[in-house]
Structure 1
Amino acid sequence: MDEIQSTILIVDDESSNRETLVSILEPEGYRLVLAEDGRRALEQAKAIQPDVILLDVMMPGLNGFEVCRLVRAEDNLAEVPVILLTALDDRQSLLEGLNSGADDFITKPFNRHELRARLKSITRLDRYHKLLEERQRLHEAHQNLLDAYDKTIEGWSRAMDLRDRETEGHTRRVTQMTLELAKMFGVESEQLTHIRRGALLHDMGKLGIPDSILLKPASLDPDEWELMRQHPQLAYDMLYPIEYLRPALDIPLCHHEKWDGAGYPRGLKGTEIPLAARLFAVVDVWDALTSDRPYRPAWSAEETLAYIREQSGKHFDPEIVELFLRMVDESRAPR
């Protein structure tokens, strides 16, 4: 017996035939619903959405062929398997049944073993199709949920950029450039998703930094720097409770770590720093230095590249610096 109970709608105008079918199928564990004519069968089918319909052909009023056509015309019933039960065994009746949309025939008087075997085969196949459809629906629902999450993340990042007009567009630029650098490094697609989310959220911790510090048009004093240096940990503390974002937190937490161990918040060194944060760090500094800030004008591309070369092995992973320089050269080459 199948673990999941299948519902069989039995349609026959003869009560003795219905009782015979019940006696054969009840021991198999099916849920059985009975209808004595075509009209009642359609009402029951719409109400219960059966897994299979066993349908007598020779009935007064609507015969089995007509009922089958009406079933197939209903969107919610069009895929329900229909087995016609008939004493007719001529070729014309067979063709009419197939044209009406029947899936199978069982000729009366039917063999109980054959009936059980046919039903088991059909219900198993029907359940498999329903399982595939359900998996597809779950996949689509999951994807829709992820899309909604990502739109929320993008909204958060835009809100951060709007808070500081001087850095507007920074998050979008560094996210795109970090993804390009990660692809050149050979990062796989699933990890790219986490890198994208982490880049979008890299400055989320600055929500906890007062405007008087964040927007100060001059250099920060030591106390202000101490507070500013807390923003990676603030981001981590804010975002860690959101489980699906945990794989993306390497960048928000570690993008100010330095290859030589002089960074913050944890003073990580070398490959202790997660790859995503090492990739992002170079891009973040590039974009920051080539953009105007309240306390200084933008550097030229040449000045910035020279600084990044000089910081290879100090601030930045040397391998990633070489890759970044190649990426910039390729982007500036004539097309």
Structure 2
Amino acid sequence: MTWMGRKRRRHVVATTDSVSLILIVDDEPSGRRALESLLLGQGYGLAFAASADEALTLARGLEPDLILLDVMMPGTDGIEALRQLRSIPRIGEIPVILVTSLDDRASRLAGLEAGADDFVAKPIDRLELRTRVRTIMRLNRFRKLRDAVCSLSEAYDATLEGWVRALDLREHQLEGHSERVAEMTARLAREMGVEPADVVHIYRGALLHDIGKIAIPDAILLKAGPLDEAEWTIMRRHPDYARAMIEPIAYLRPALEIPYCHHERWDGKGYPRGLRAEAIPKSARIFSAVDVWDALSSDRPYRACWDRARVSQYLLDNSGTLFDPDVVTCFVKLLGEDEIRRTAASPADLAQDLSPAARPDDPGILAAPAASCYRLRSETPPARIDLTEAVPDLLTIPFRSIHRDRLGRPYAERSLVNSG
């Protein structure tokens, strides 16, 4: 234990890296000495302040685990100091026990309203003080553990987003594709009544839906023309690669359903396992519709984006074959509500709504537009689309394009959805 200066008892008197620190705030030296004598030897580091202003300064610098705050002080009293403390980011959650000789109900209510965690009345009972301090410290340890877990979770999610951006750059995906489909999948899952705790895993799974493509050779992943059967055999392994990557990670295991099953089809003709109907995990059924929606709603080098009405009609036409009918019904309804909201918005509101930085009021996982090319109204009646034959991908339409890839090669026949 390192002992520091105790002059006037207004500084840290005992602290190590492992003990909890208590800041004692009292304008009277006798009050500070009394609290010090009651708490020394209990394994706490102690710091002292003689005014509210000094207390706030020390709180910013020391970030104590607990503040014992006298109420009756000249100038700024303890209740006002507590109000100021609660308004300061980073230190506003420090537990505070008010130390007061006031025993009336109004004072206690004022302290609670200002954010007090507990009270100790003067004259101070040694056993009561130590018991209340231990209780607060125990709760504070839980809070710190919770905050640490949240910080770790945020770091994990930031890492996942970095992986996904790297994959998007490698595959030359439309910027933000993975984030967009993750956000819309989470939104649709909420609309379909998925529990909030499960929506978090669905978001992560959607974010990582194509992570298995990291194992696909560039010659196949970036090929400008159509894949041959041997290449398709390799491409179809990416869900298995995703499973091999994610399953050993306990944190991500609940998010595995989408990366592993998002190419399964409602009619059982998907891959990798040929699952049918409700044997396909619900999260993967939700995601598959969103993934196609985003692909068709985005400009690609080999075709322009489709308007919303045409995309919705495609989802409806393939309900019960490619997609879960319940998912399509809910998703088309959700897209229609968005259309109504956008059509009714003012030009200023619309510009904000279509901005990449725009976000709805939902504080949780948010939804964003799939692409800036969205049109508010269909310029022509939507054409119905029929799939006349089974194809390796979701939809294949032959065409020729004057566009060239990053190596200068002309695009040949490509999958319209091209989701691999």
TM-score interval, normalised by the smaller of the two chains = 0.5 to 0.7
Q: Which deviates more, 275-284 or 307-316?
A: 307-316
Query: What's 2:231 paired with?
Result: 224
Task: Give, in whole Å, the separation in 1 of the partners of 2:255 and 2:175.
Answer: 22
* Structure-1 residue corresponding to 2:352: none
Structure 2 residue aligned with 1:257 = 264
Contact residue 65 and residue 137 of structure 2 kept, 8 A: no
Q: How does 1:2-81 map to 2 (within 5 A)?
A: 46-47=14-15, 67-68=33-34, 72-73=48-49, 79=67
Q: Does 1:178 align with 2:185?
A: yes
Number of the residue aligned with 2:333: 326
Residues 204 and 255 of structure 2 are in contact (CA less than 8 Å); yes or no, is this contact kept in structure 1? yes
- The reply on whether 1:153 has 2:153 as its aligned counterpart is no
C-alpha contact 1:217 1:294 (8 A) present in aligned 2: no
Going from structure 1 to structure 2, the CA distance change for 1:131 and 1:223 (only over 3 Å counts) comes to same
Shift in Å at residue 203 of structure 1?
A: 0.4
1:306 to 310, 313, 328: 313
1:328/1:134 CA distance change after superposition, 3 Å: same
Q: Is the 8 A contact 1:218 1:295 kept in 2?
A: no
Separation in 1 of the partners of 2:21 and 2:165? 50
TM normalised by structure 2 equals: 0.55
Provide closer, same or farther for how the CA distance between residues 296 and 218 of structure 1 changes in structure 2, counting only shifts above 3 A: farther
Alpha-carbon distance in structure 1 between the residues aligned to 2:224 and 2:302:
5
Instruction: Give the Å deviation of 1:310.
Output: 2.2
Cα 1:300–1:66, aligned 2, differ >3 Å: closer, same or farther? closer
Distance 2:312 2:193 in 1: 23
3-state SS of the aligned residue for 2:274?
Answer: coil
Paired residue type of 2:143: Q
| 2:219 aligns with one of 195, 212, 216 | 212
Structure 2: stretches of 5+ with no match in the other structure:
1-5, 23-28, 37-46, 50-54, 59-63, 70-99, 103-119, 345-420
Q: Report % sequence identity.
A: 42
> Comparing 64-73 with 171-180, which one deviates more in the overlay?
64-73
Paired position in structure 2 for 1:55? none
- Inter-partner Cα distance in structure 2 for 1:77 and 1:148: 24
Report the more deviating stretch, 118-127 or 158-167.
Answer: 118-127
CA shift at 1:238, angstroms? 0.6
Instruction: Give SS of 2:270's match.
Output: coil
Amino acid in structure 2 at the alignment position of 1:262: K
Change (3 A) 1:72 1:259: same
Q: CA RMSD in A?
A: 3.5
Alpha carbons 1:72, 1:79 under 8 Å: kept: no
8 Å CA contact 2:265–2:322 kept in 1: the answer is: yes
After superposition, the C-alpha distances for 1:5-31 in whole angstroms (9 at most, x for unaligned) are xxxxxxxxxxxxxxxxxxxxxxxxxxx
For residue 272 of structure 1, report the CA deviation from its aligned partner. Answer: 1.4
Q: 1:307 Cα shift? A: 2.7
Counterpart residue number, 1:111 = none
* Paired AA for residue 244 in structure 2: D
Structure 2 vs 1, CA of residues 311 and 72 (structure 1 numbering), >3 Å: closer, same or farther? same
- The structure that is helix-richer by fraction is 1
Asked if the contact 1:50–1:80 (Cα under 8 Å) also holds between the matched residues in 2, the reply is no
SS in 2 for 1:316: coil
CA contact (8 A) 1:216 1:294 kept: no
Amino acid at match of 2:33: V
Corresponding position of 1:90: none
Q: Does 1:192 align with 2:199?
A: yes
Code of the residue aligned with 2:183 in structure 1: it is Q
1:39-74 deviation digits (Å, cap 9, x = unpaired): 7x999951587999xxxxxxxxxx955734886429
Q: 2:273 aligns with which of 252, 266, 287?
A: 266
* TM-superposed deviation, 1:271: 1.3
Conserved 8 A contact 1:154-1:200: yes
Q: Which digits, 9 at most, give the CA deviation of each residue in 1:207-252, with x for residues without a partner? A: 0001111111111111111111110111111111221111111111
Instruction: State the distance in 1 between where 2:123 and 2:280 align.
Output: 68
Name the SS for the 1:262 alignment partner: coil
Specify whether residues 196 and 105 from structure 1 end up closer, same or farther in structure 2 by C-alpha distance, changes over 3 A only: same
* Superposition TM-score, scaled by structure 1 size: 0.67
Asked if 1:237 is matched to 2:244, the reply is yes
Report the alpha carbon displacement of residue 257 of structure 1 after superposing the two structures with TM. Answer: 0.8
Using the alignment, how far apart are the partners of 2:20 and 2:161 within structure 1? 45
Tell me the amino acid that sits aligned with residue 67 of structure 1: R
- The 8 Å contact of residues 174 and 199 in structure 1, kept in 2 or not, is answered as yes
The 8 Å contact of residues 101 and 123 in structure 2, kept in 1 or not, is answered as no
Q: Helix, strand or coil for the counterpart of 2:14?
A: helix
Number of corresponding residues: 262
